[in-house]
Chains A and B, each alone.
Chain A
Amino acid sequence: GAGVSQSPSNKVTEKGKDVELRCDPISGHTALYWYRQSLGQGLEFLIYFQGNSAPDKSGLPSDRFSAERTGGSVSTLTIQRTQQEDSAVYLCASSSWTSGNNEQFFGPGTRLTVL
């Protein structure tokens, strides 16, 4: 079956430009998470959407980062005025509460390079 998909798979941009990263979660999953992974580092939580509740934005590193989830499905992570330190792999995950397990299914990620 279809898993979590992300687009683009790679994005190269110039410093100062805005970028949008897209995540299509698994159909029916009510929770959606964004993480990022810098080179050689572990994953860093960014933002989390759950159903119609207000998103948990506690992991966003600055106000240049924002995310939306439209219709409870597709999500877009926007980074404004990109900086070189924003270069990382951005990972999206979705989950559905089932029988006490909250396994998160991850997409393949978007590799962002800011020149």
Chain B
Amino acid sequence: DAKTTQPPSMDCAEGRAANLPCNHSTISGNEYVYWYRQIHSQGPQYIIHGLKNNETNEMASLIITEDRKSSTLILPHATLRDTAVYYCIVREVGSSGYSTLTFGKGTMLLVSP
């Protein structure tokens, strides 16, 4: 079972920031928070991940609360091409460095003109 809770859908106006929340209240100390997105008819695409510090890359920013029980993915200037289902995933990375992804239902983000 997915260990995260996300709203089923969100709307955002083009050019505005999209803030996608995720609750992961049972997260353990060795689990990371990963975000992927899936544009219609495509495979999922990695966005960003973090452990406890806030992270930023060319696609997005990830804000993780101090208690690590929730996080927010921020798309600073949403475009129409950002319309997709966004998945927040809690994932343990073992000593081998590999683990599978457990996807929930995600948040359908609709960016409108």
Residues of A within 8 A of B (CB): 4, 31, 33, 35, 41-45, 48, 50, 56, 59, 91, 93, 95, 97, 100-109
Contacts and interface: CB of A to CB of B under 8 A. Distances in A.
Interface string B32-59: 0000000000111110010000000000
B77 interface: no
Contact of B43 (A100, A101, A109): A109
Contact of A95 (B43, B49, B98, B105): B98
| Interface SS of chain B | loop
List 3 A-B pairs, minimum CB-CB distance, nearest first. Answer: A106-B43, A97-B97, A43-B103
Q: How large is the interface on B (under 10, 10 to 19, 20 to 34, 35 or more residues)?
A: 20 to 34
B2 interface: yes
| Interface SS of chain A | strand
Given A42-B105, A42-B106, A106-B43, A101 B49 contact: yes
A102 B43 contact: no
A48 B100 contact: yes
Given A50-B96, A97-B97, A45 B102 contact: yes
B46 A33 contact: no
A105 B100 CA distance: 12
A44 B44 CA distance: 12
Contacts of B44: 43, 91, 93, 104, 106
Interface in B78-113: 87, 93, 96-106
B2 A102 contact: no
A7 to B, nearest CB: 14
A56 B100 contact: yes
B19 to A, nearest CB: 21
Given A31-B98, A43-B44, A91-B43, 13 more contacts: A33-B101, A42-B2, A42-B87, A42-B104, A42-B105, A101-B49, A102-B93, A102-B97, A102-B98, A103-B46, A104-B44, A104-B101, A106-B43
